[in-house]
Amino acid sequence: MNRIITSESAPDNDCDVFVIGGGPAGSTIATLLAKRGLDVVLAEKDTHPRFHIGESLLPMNLELFEQLGVLDQVREIGLRKPGVEFNSPVHDRPVTLKFSEAWDKTYTYAYQVRRAEFDKILFDHCVRSGARAMQECRVSQVKFPVEGGVSVMTCEADGDKQWQARYLVDASGRDTFLGNRFAIKRRNPQHATAALYGHFEAARRLPGDAEGNISLFWFEHGWFWFIPLRDGTTSVGAVCTPEYLRTRRSDPSVFLLQTIALCPELNARLQHARLLANATATGNYSYVSSQMSGERYLMVGDAYAFVDPVFSSGVYLAMRSAFLGADVVEASLREPAAAAQAKRRFENSVRHGLRNFSWFIYRMTRPAMRTLFMKPRNHLRIKEALMSLLAGDLYRNTPIYASLFAFKVLYYITSVMQAGASFRAWRAHRRTLRAT
């Protein structure tokens, strides 16, 4: 067992807050609550560093890193990401959109990071901040006694242990601990995707300052990501329909290479590259829970919902929900009269972020959306607003929403102008949802 407990912590089984999961959401909320003087216990089922996908961050992550006090550490492991390159099979040349073109120029870049290193930075920081954090510790059972509090049973190498907490935070990611326990996890009714990914060496990158850009490639069955990392490796993955993934008749590595061959532009980037380890295939990529909080608990990050990685929003939304959730937990334990308002603010803000990203995600493979991304215009400051969205600038009152509304109107106009292709794409999407 690899267990870490702060020296100041009492060796008893009581705490104020028990956090399930030591990823970005769990480590962030544990840090914030510990810094506010609450006794926090965090249980992580694995041992850091451990592999995780989702290596591309957003510019607005930098604001959160500054507030947590980890920006310098993230900078040391990250490859600077100034923008996004889009590649379409029906357009002559790629298009690069830069974060410096956003409405607010405060944060003009992000980082590409190895999640094993990044997640360990956040986990170690929560320990230094005063949280009691355990690794190789799996939560097996949670109960909410009628008399109050939360009872948590954990499994560790030296046996089972029971904890008594005043509040529970589910940050278990795609394990969705409470979502499964309460049977409230649902397939996303508007989106269905699967993923196939691996890491390559010797991939051909963009030249100069654009080396750290994430590249997106549309192809027949979905889209690819191409994420360069600081150590020279490149994360490559396909987000596709579950129908396509079910056609696989070989191991994931062979199928990934076969899928890459369907995209000539990406295939050329990987012509001399080598897959470093076995590829991974995963389904059930899009889901949402019917609730995100209740009496004595809340769900943050992917434990509540996950849509699609196309805009690299997962880590940012997870950490932002942790910041918002920390206010709920503190109010619930110290100022119960303010808890209901804090919870409404938390839930409205989480849904606000998901809703704004989701509108674009649901339509990302439609012909009209591809046309608009490949021919960006800044009429009515639409391009600036779009880049602000891609940067994650949804919570600072930046006045982007009128321009985003104009973009949506333009999208529907373009869809009508491409009626045949739009209808075929819509029909294929509905077929995928029914099949899933």
Q: pLDDT at residue 13 above 60?
A: yes
Shortest CA distance to 422 belongs to which of 431, 414, 430? Answer: 414
Half-sphere exposure of 345 (CA within 13 A, CB side): 16
Question: How confident is the model at residue 329, as a pLDDT?
Answer: 98
pLDDT bin (cut points 50, 70, 90) of residue 284 is: low
Q: pLDDT at residue 124 above 70?
A: yes
> What is the identity of the amino acid at 307?
V
Fold match between domain 3-68+114-187+286-354 and domain 79-113+189-282? no
Which SS3 state, helix, strand or coil, does residue 406 take? helix
Alpha-carbon span 4 to 42, nearest angstrom:
10
In b/e form, how buried is each residue of 302-332, taking b as 16+ CB within 10 angstroms?
bbbbbbbbbbbbbbbbbbbbbbbbbbbbbbb
Enumerate the domain spans of the chain: 3-68+114-187+286-354, 79-113+189-282, 363-435
Residue 9: CB partners within 8 Å, gap ≥ 6?
Answer: 39, 132
Alpha-carbon span 35 to 28, nearest angstrom:
11
Alpha-carbon span 412 to 419, nearest angstrom:
10
Per-residue pLDDT averaged across 340-346, rounded?
96
pLDDT in tens, 356-395: 999 999 999 999 999 999 999 999 999 999 999 999 999 9
Give CA separation, 91 vs 36, 370, 374, in Å: 52, 9, 8
Question: How confident is the model at residue 282, as a pLDDT?
Answer: 87
Question: How confident is the model at residue 1, as a pLDDT?
Answer: 36
The structure's pTM equals 0.94
**CB-based contact 218:87 (threshold 8 Å):** yes
pLDDT bin (cut points 50, 70, 90) of residue 91 is: very high
Angle at alpha carbon of residue 239, lines to 233 and 242, rounded to 5°: 140
Q: pLDDT at residue 4 above 50?
A: no
Superfamily of domain 3-68+114-187+286-354 in CATH is FAD/NAD(P)-binding domain (3.50.50.60)
Alpha-carbon span 26 to 299, nearest angstrom:
10
Which SS3 state, helix, strand or coil, does residue 251 take? coil
Q: pLDDT at residue 279 above 70?
A: yes
Per-residue pLDDT averaged across 147-165, rounded?
93
Alpha-carbon span 205 to 236, nearest angstrom:
12
CA 21 to chain centroid, in Å, comes to 15
Q: pLDDT at residue 30 above 60?
A: yes
Domain 79-113+189-282 in CATH 3.90.1150.10? The answer is: no
> What is the identity of the amino acid at 198?
G
Higher per-residue pLDDT: 8 or 220: 220
Q: pLDDT at residue 348 above 50?
A: yes
Question: How confident is the model at residue 7, as a pLDDT?
Answer: 35
Which SS3 state, helix, strand or coil, does residue 94 take? coil
Per-residue pLDDT averaged across 5-22, rounded?
76
Question: How confident is the model at residue 234, as a pLDDT?
Answer: 98
Angle at alpha carbon of residue 188, lines to 413 and 346, rounded to 5°: 95
SS (H, E, C) 293-309: EECCEEECHHHCEECCC
